[in-house]
């Protein structure tokens, strides 16, 4: 059996994606608990809630954003694990390409929204996954042409 050419790139990209999504889950948990943390540290938050009705809404937005970030990170984590498991199978190149493109578009939009050199780093994982999927596609075409 011949070596799968895109497997190494897909493995690196999906491991980077898995690590990033784990950090996303941790950030989501932090945002879910941040409001309660600030309540413990100071009574200002509770005084603001009683004085200003909008303050209660704003404090609860941290919990909403934390839940959204955590849910998206769990989905990215699961698809990253699926991509890592399917890296050796040539017929799944479309799945890995689609996953890489979705992550690339999201990271690219974040980079365009507020450009900073640090926002180039999230593009590395999806680009590696895309390159590996395209290498798997080429290898599958060559293998099917030989048959």
The dihedrals phi and psi of 11, each to the nearest 5 degrees, come to: -65, -45
Cα–Cα distance for residue pair 102/76, rounded to 1 Å = 10
Helix (H, G, I), strand (E, B) or coil at 112: helix
Cα–Cα distance for residue pair 113/19, rounded to 1 Å = 23
Sequence ranges of the domains in the chain = 7-140
Predicted model pTM:
0.80
Percent of the chain past pLDDT 70, that is, above it, reads 82
Q: What is the pLDDT of residues 85-133, one digit of tens each?
A: 999 998 899 999 999 999 999 989 988 887 878 888 889 999 999 999 9
2, 71, 114 from 83: Cα distances, Å: 20, 18, 29
DSSP letters spanning 8-47: HHHHHHHHHHHHHHHHHHHHHHHHHHHHHHHHHH-SHHHH
Percent of the chain past pLDDT 90, that is, above it, reads 51
Average confidence score pLDDT of the chain:
85
Q: What angle do CA 32, 37, 39 make, to 5 degrees?
A: 115
């Amino acid at each position: 059996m011949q070596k799968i050419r895109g497997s190494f790139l897909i493995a690196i990209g999906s491991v980077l994606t898995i690590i990033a999504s784990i950090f996303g889950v941790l950030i989501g948990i932090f945002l879910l608990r941040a409001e309660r943390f600030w309540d413990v540290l100071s009574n200002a938050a509770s005084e603001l809630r009683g004085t200003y009705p909008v303050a209660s809404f704003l404090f609860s937005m941290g919990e909403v954003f934390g839940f959204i970030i955590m849910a998206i990170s769990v989905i990215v984590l699961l698809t990253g694990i699926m991509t890592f498991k399917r890296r050796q199978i040539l017929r799944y190149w479309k799945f890995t390409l689609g996953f890489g493109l979705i992550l690339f578009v999201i990271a690219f939009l974040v980079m365009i929204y507020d450009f900073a050199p640090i926002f180039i780093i999230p593009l590395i994982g999806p680009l590696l996954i895309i390159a590996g999927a395209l290498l798997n596609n080429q290898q599958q075409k060559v293998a099917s042409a030989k048959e």
